[in-house]
């Protein structure tokens, strides 16, 4: 064993000397995926559930020698403060002001799926050409090798697609065609029926046929306006927005755990749950309360959700029933 080890060592040294002694025999290796990359994450709206878990990934990529950037609106830049290795880039003023959020969210939570979708398309596409050009320019200036685009940020995805930069799509829900199956609802019009079990034929017909037609009728003026803005700015048009994402990897943070099981496409990756590693401490009163109780349930709707009276009634009824049965403290 010692002889073979020594022989291998001598052979390695001899090879090094033979290759290193003749200058004309040397050549450079072509760059590979092992080379450090410039990675940019684009997300303009959605809050921490859309941002922080991706920044956690970027922080790890930075630690591995890559250069990472986070492009967003001014009101979302606060999220990068806890990630010192990720460079924040402003893409302009917020899509909504704080006052608009306060007046908009109560109405938004009560909208029908069709009205909600039309509202989202109209709101998120404001200033599309400006955002698109921002990403194209940033990709060029920062020499971006890989873009990471939030599923709400179509300007990021289309800019990467049209400039032939590889891009990854991030989401907290499985919504693209390669995540669907006949018995699971991934479309906004039928998502209130997560699976087809127990759904009547009439409701299925409405979700799959009637609602999409109603949506196209309501959204057509908005779509025409967006397409005209793209034409005026010289941005290529894509008939189906999802076609841009067809060949991209999709990362879905399954921290919420609400996805019905089913087969998914090879480009879809359920990852996580990825959650922040540090949290603000509890005050003494709340800490003392929790320390003296073992069976506790935390009820939260998310930072932008506003529960209706029916929501509160249903949840409080369930909580009281569990307390009466002593399943909760």
Continuous segment of H or E residues that includes residue 118: helix 113-124
Cα distance between residue 164 and residue 138, in whole Å? 14
Cα distance between residue 124 and residue 1, in whole Å? 68
Rg from Cα positions in the chain: 26
Tens-digit pLDDT profile for residues 151-160: 999 999 999 9
Phi-psi region of 264 (alpha: psi -120 to 50; beta: other; left: phi over 0): beta
Tokens 């990471």, located at residue: 148
User: What is the token pair recorded at 159?
Assistant: 């800019």
pLDDT at 6 over 50: no
Q: pTM score, two decimals? A: 0.80
113: nearest Cα among 205, 187, 224: 187
Residues 6+ apart with CB under 8 A from 276: 52, 56, 82
Percent of the chain with pLDDT over 90: 45
Cα distance between residue 19 and residue 271, in whole Å? 45
50: nearest Cα among 312, 303, 321, 324: 303
pLDDT at 33 over 70: no
pLDDT at 20 over 50: no
Judge residue 249's burial from the number of C-beta atoms within 10 Å of its C-beta, 0-12 exposed, 13-18 middle, 19 or more buried. Answer: middle
Report, at the CATH architecture level, how domain 38-270 is classified. Answer: 3-Layer(aba) Sandwich (3.40)
Most confident of 92-106, 143-157, 265-279, 295-309: 143-157
> Where is pLDDT greater, at 296 or 5?
296
User: What is the token pair recorded at 259?
Assistant: 């996805």
Q: Where are the alpha helices (DSSP H) in 125-183?
A: 128-141, 154-162
User: What is the token pair recorded at 88?
Assistant: 């924040």
pLDDT at 309 over 70: yes
Contact yes or no for 237/154 (Cβ under 8 A): no
User: What is the token pair recorded at 156?
Assistant: 């990021």
What average pLDDT score do residues 134-146 get?
Answer: 97
Phi-psi region of 164 (alpha: psi -120 to 50; beta: other; left: phi over 0): left
pLDDT at 160: 97
> Where is pLDDT greater, at 145 or 124?
145
pLDDT at 24 over 70: no
Cα distance between residue 259 and residue 254, in whole Å? 8
Residue extents of the structural domains in the chain: 38-270, 284-325
């Amino acid at each position: 064993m010692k002889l073979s080890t020594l022989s291998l060592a001598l052979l390695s040294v001899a090879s090094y000397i033979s290759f290193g002694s003749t200058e004309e025999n040397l050549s450079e290796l072509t760059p590979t995926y092992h080379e450090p990359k410039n990675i940019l994450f684009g997300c303009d709206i959605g809050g921490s559930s859309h941002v922080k878990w991706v920044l956690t990934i970027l922080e790890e990529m930075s630690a591995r020698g890559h250069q990472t950037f986070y492009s967003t609106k001014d009101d979302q830049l606060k999220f990068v403060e806890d990630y010192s290795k990720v460079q924040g880039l402003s893409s302009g003023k917020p899509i909504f002001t704080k006052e608009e959020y306060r007046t908009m969210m109560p109405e938004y939570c009560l909208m029908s799926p069709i009205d909600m979708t039309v509202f989202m398309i109209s709101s998120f596409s404001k200033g599309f050409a400006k955002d698109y050009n921002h990403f194209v320019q940033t990709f060029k200036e920062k020499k971006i090798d890989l873009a990471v685009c939030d599923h709400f940020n179509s300007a990021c995805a289309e800019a990467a697609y049209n400039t032939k930069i590889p891009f990854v799509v991030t989401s907290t829900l499985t919504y693209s065609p390669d995540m669907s199956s006949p018995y699971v609802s991934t479309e906004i019009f039928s998502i209130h029926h997560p699976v087809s079990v127990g759904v009547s034929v009439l409701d299925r017909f409405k979700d799959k046929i009637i609602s999409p037609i109603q949506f196209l009728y309501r959204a057509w003026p908005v779509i025409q306006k967006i397409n005209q803005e793209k034409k005026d700015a010289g941005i290529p048009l894509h008939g189906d927005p999802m076609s841009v994402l067809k060949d991209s990897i999709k990362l879905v943070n399954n921290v919420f755990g609400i996805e019905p099981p089913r087969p998914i496409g090879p480009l879809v990756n359920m990852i996580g749950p990825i959650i922040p590693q540090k949290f603000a401490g509890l005050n003494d009163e709340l800490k003392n309360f929790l320390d003296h109780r073992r069976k506790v349930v935390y009820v939260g709707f998310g930072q932008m959700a506003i529960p209706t009276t029916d929501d509160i009634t249903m949840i409080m009824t369930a909580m009281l029933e569990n307390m009466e049965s002593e399943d909760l403290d």
